[in-house]
Amino acid sequence: MKTTLYYLLLLLSVNTFAEVNNESFTSKTLNTQVTFKVSVPASYSTRLNQYYPVIYVLHGQWDFALVKSISDTLKSEIPEFIIVQVIGKGAQLQPNDANINEKAQLFRQHFTHELVPHIKNNFRTADYSILIGHSNAGRFAMEQLLTKSPLFNDYFIFSPSLDDGYIVSLARSVKELQAQLFLSIANEGEHMQKPFNALLNILQNHPTLSLSSEKYAQYSHQSSKVIALLNAFQTRFSHWQASYETKIAGLGSLLTHYSVLEKEFGFQVFPDKDDLIRLLAYFAVNDNGQEVGKIYDYVITHYSNSAESIIEIEQYLAKEGYQSAAKRIKSSRLK
């Protein structure tokens, strides 16, 4: 019954989603005012000492909403991200290997020397970022990977344009790669399948590249990016969420789990507030006053908007017949 209660409490999770801001600045490189969207986590305005990893979404005019929607859906399974809309298309994303494409050359300068620094200077960003690209934006992202851009740690690249031979040729010239890459292809013609297989063969010979790849034969070029994005998040952060056993082992066990994640990813990680509120209820019902006190103190100290949530869970328990558990939480709140 008590285990069942924990899962019932999942229904109390508050739907707090990321907030979208409109940003703009004058680009000296492009000689124009650039306007774009930046999504910040719901906790951004209340966790003022926290720094967040960043996702840069190429083809942002089309794919920003998709990335935000899926990251919101997976909010308890992946880190909280700042998500940046990178607007660019056509010639801007074409290869610039010979420096003869002025639009491509200027866009690269704008992206790496203006847009990314703007985000770092105006938002609390951790030293960890993901670059996401699909189709010809995927080719752009592959170029960033293969030219060893210092700006990104992870790459989610879906059905990149490979039929011109540029990326495969560039890959053959690279001796060592150190990054995380999720690479996929949809149900494409031979003009894409053949260079994709060639690229995979090359990348698999880089022992310091962490590579995950998928072929989505049942999905089209456009629809595949939905399942690919979901799989990329789940693959990269497969161990992000603490197990049920870890959670009910107590606050110390949960904090150890997130400490391990901090060491792996290189930025500070905090437990999800809703998880802690549910655990507060769980231990109150299980008559574990010591854990109730630990969790209450931690939540109040680290989450500035938590008092209302604690009162709500206290009232919920009392309404459902767990008066003793409600009193246990109240005593921690009033001490």
- Return d(Cα 120, Cα 330) in angstroms, integer: 42
pLDDT tens digits, residue range 305-330? 788 888 988 998 898 888 999 999 98
Residue 10 has pLDDT above 60, yes or no: no
- Return d(Cα 132, Cα 83) in angstroms, integer: 10
pLDDT tens digits, residue range 287-303? 999 999 999 999 998 88
pLDDT at 290 (0 to 100)? 94
pLDDT at 45 (0 to 100)? 84
Buried-state track 288-324, b at ≥16 Cβ within 10 A, e below 16: beebbbbbbebbeebbeebeebbeebbebbbeeebee
Which string of DSSP letters, residue by residue, matches 204-223? TT-TTEEEEEEE-TTS-TTT
pLDDT tens digits, residue range 214-266? 999 999 999 999 999 999 999 999 999 999 899 999 999 999 999 999 999 99
Confidence of residue 273 (pLDDT cuts 50, 70, 90): confident
Whether the model clears a pTM of 0.85, i.e. scores above it, the answer is: yes
Amino acid occupying residue 254 = L
Encoding tokens for residue 76? Answer: 């308890």
pLDDT tens digits, residue range 33-72? 999 999 999 888 888 889 999 999 999 999 999 999 999 9
Residue 1 has pLDDT above 60, yes or no: no
Amino acid occupying residue 92 = Q
SS3 12: helix
Share of the chain above pLDDT 90, in %: 70
Encoding tokens for residue 58? Answer: 């190429």
pLDDT at 11 (0 to 100)? 43
Return all residues near 280 (Cβ < 8 A) that are at least 6 apart. Answer: 292, 295, 296, 299, 310, 313, 329
Buried-state track 47-65, b at ≥16 Cβ within 10 A, e below 16: beebebbbbbbbbbebbbe
pLDDT tens digits, residue range 136-149? 999 999 999 999 99
pLDDT at 32 (0 to 100)? 93
- 184 in Cβ contact with 224 (< 8 Å): yes
Residue 115 has pLDDT above 80, yes or no: yes
pLDDT at 9 (0 to 100)? 53
- DSSP, res 127: E
Best CA proximity match to 81, nearest among 258, 267, 273: 267
CA angle at residue 102 from 98 to 108, to 5 degrees?
85
What integer best gives the mean pLDDT of the chain?
90
Q: Residue 10 burial by CB count (10 A; 0-12/13-18/19+): exposed, middle or buried?
A: exposed
